[in-house]
Structure 1
Amino acid sequence: MTDQWWVGVRQRLEAAGAGPSGSRVFGALGHRWIVEDPLTQGELAELEAQTDVRLPEEYRTFLLHVGAGGAGPAYGLFPVRRVQGRWRWEGDGADLADLTRLAAPFPDQGPDPKLLDDLLAQRPEEEDFDDIEDFDDAIEAWDERWEAIMFAPERTAGAIVISHLGCAQREWLIINGSHRGTIWSDCRVDDVDLAPLLDDDGTPVTFARWYTDWLEKAERTALSAP
């Protein structure tokens, strides 16, 4: 059972938050080491019925045994909450996930790399323009073409945003499809495509590994002498 990952985690978070250097952990001033209450079995069932998808086991057991969100990697784990009778994830960029597409599989392949390379090669450069307004118009038109490909809604079907790293960089949890349960990096704001987080041996990082690795590193900082 994957709930073994979460034994004692709430207590460890509380201890880290009270540690002499708890405020030095990156993002701690944002999540303040607060963990929301866990979901009940009934609430989880309602959430999964609304989204029409069973959440990955490591994540769903986290929701049941640790909390609905809060203290976690970067600026924290986006909480899932019921708002006006409907469930949704909340956080900076959480609305990038289309909740009507969660039951669809996350795509196995992104855009054609050659298409992206060609488009990047066509990006306007300011020195090629005599008039700054002409450059602004050209870069705006290029941005529209780039974003239409990179941020197409089908790119992130079957996935939710779960963390914000700052500077519009985020991380996604894949909840449906062949990559189900894995964490993906989103640096599209820096013209870098979505990519899975990989362990040292090249194994895709799953939710439990992602969270517990963060907690172990955070504890080393939080419990150290100031």
Structure 2
Amino acid sequence: MEYAQAQADRIAGILTDLGRLRAADLKTTVVSLGDREVTGYKCRIHGAAVHRYEFAAPADPAALAAFEHRLGVGLPADYRAWITSVSDGGAGPMLGLFPLAQEAEDAAIDYASDFAFTPERPCPPADEDSESQWSKNIDMIHRGATFLADEGCGMYNLLVLRGPAAGQVWWHSYEHAAALPLLHPDTREPLMFLDWYELWLARALDPGVDQVGSFAEFADHARR
């Protein structure tokens, strides 16, 4: 019960801060298309003009139950709380959150298998001239995880759903067939879903530091 309350308090804090960021960042403008005028959006925060700080509806309970049955395990608790109480997709880091189990790059995620990597044993980029290694890496990466957010330029954030790294957010380069753990800059602990969201928000709201343009900044490249 205490954990659930702490989680609810963190989500409430995120929503408050997100409202502050939206008020400061989201600007609209009228764009003429010749025969009509449409509303355009200008934002300083990377990706915000795509999601425009708008939330999708919470996850459908029946669809969520069916997915967890397919997965074979429950979703990470903090992520599950978010998509059931706030939004399944929409406002969030990078270009916004993907809805649950929406795949990118025509990926065919094997949800019944464990994510094969751990912070101690990540997946470094494939050799540039090795198509077989690229294919092998992608096959291993696209297991037991879901696409969480699109950074652009073929880079993504993944949420691990199964295996030893379950609950962690990882940085994924599809082009280079790499997957690296994200570590908090202060604690050096792996980022979980709410950690990841809070880190992005804190940087976006602090005028004294650069916003997060890519979570590659927090990827543990030293273990490549």
Q: What TM-score do you get using the length of structure 1 for normalisation?
A: 0.70
Question: Does 1 or 2 have the higher relative contact order (CA < 8 Å, sep 6+)?
Answer: 1
Measured after TM superposition, the shift of residue 212 of structure 1 is: 1.4
Of 169, 185, 190, the match for 2:171: 185
Shift of 1:42: 4.3
Over the matched positions of the two proteins, sequence identity in percent amounts to 28
Over 3 Å counting, the alpha-carbon distance change for 1:107 and 1:16 in structure 2 is: same
Residues 50, 220 of structure 1: alpha-carbon distance in 2 compared, 3 angstrom cutoff: same
SS of the residue 2:156 aligns to = strand
Q: Which of 73, 94, 113 is matched with 1:53 structurally?
A: 73
Unaligned runs of 5+ in 1: 81-87, 124-141, 222-226
Query: Residue 89 of structure 1 corresponds to which residue in structure 2?
Result: 102
Tell me the distance in 1 between the aligned counterparts of 2:66 and 2:174.
32
In structure 2, the residue corresponding to 1:194 is in which secondary structure?
A: strand
8 Å contact from structure 2 (residues 169, 190) kept in 1: yes
For the pair 1:194 / 2:179, whether they are aligned, the reply is: yes
Kept after mapping to 2: 8 A contact 1:72/1:211? yes
Pick aligned residue for 1:160 from 137, 141, 146: 146
Q: Cα 1:89–1:21, aligned 2, differ >3 Å: closer, same or farther?
A: closer
TM-score using structure 2 length: 0.70
Separation in structure 2 between the aligned mates of residue 43 and residue 150 of structure 1, nearest angstrom: 30
**Partners of 2:25 and 2:45 within 8 A in 1:** no
| Bigger radius of gyration | 1
Q: Deviations over 1:37-80 (max 9, x none)?
A: 22254443233224333100010001112210111111111123
> 1:169-206 CA distances to partner (integer Å, 9 max, x unpaired)?
111100111101001111242x3731100112321111
Paired AA for residue 98 in structure 2: F
Query: More helix per residue: 1 or 2?
Result: 1
Seen in structure 2, the aligned counterparts of structure 1 residues 77 and 48 have a Cα distance that, compared at 3 Å, is: same
How many Å separate the matches in 2 of 1:52 and 1:20?
A: 40
* Residue identity matched to 2:134: E
Which letter maps to 2:102?
A: W
Residue in 2 that maps onto 1:4: 9
The answer for the alignment partner of 1:147 in structure 2 is 134
Which secondary structure state, in structure 2, belongs to the residue aligned with residue 24 of structure 1?
A: coil
Q: Are 2:31 and 1:26 equivalent residues in the alignment? A: no
Where do residues 75-114 of structure 1 align in structure 2 (5 Å cutoff)? 75-80=95-100, 88-89=101-102, 92-93=104-105, 95-98=106-109, 101-108=110-117, 109=121
* Partner residue in 2 for 1:206: 192
Distance 1:66 1:181, change over 3 A: same
Q: Assess if the C-alpha contact under 8 Å between 2:137 and 2:178 holds in 1.
A: yes
What SS does the corresponding residue of 2:24 show, helix, strand or coil?
Answer: coil
Q: Distance in 2 between matches of 1:96 and 1:74?
A: 20
1:110 and 1:197 mapped to 2: Cα distance?
A: 11
SS in 2 for 1:96: coil
Range that drifts further, 33-42 or 159-168: 33-42
Equivalent position to 2:94, from 55, 58, 74: 74
CA-to-aligned-CA distance 1:118-140 (integer Å, 9 cap, x gap): x84xx5xxxxxxxxxxxxxxxxx
Q: How many residues align?
A: 183
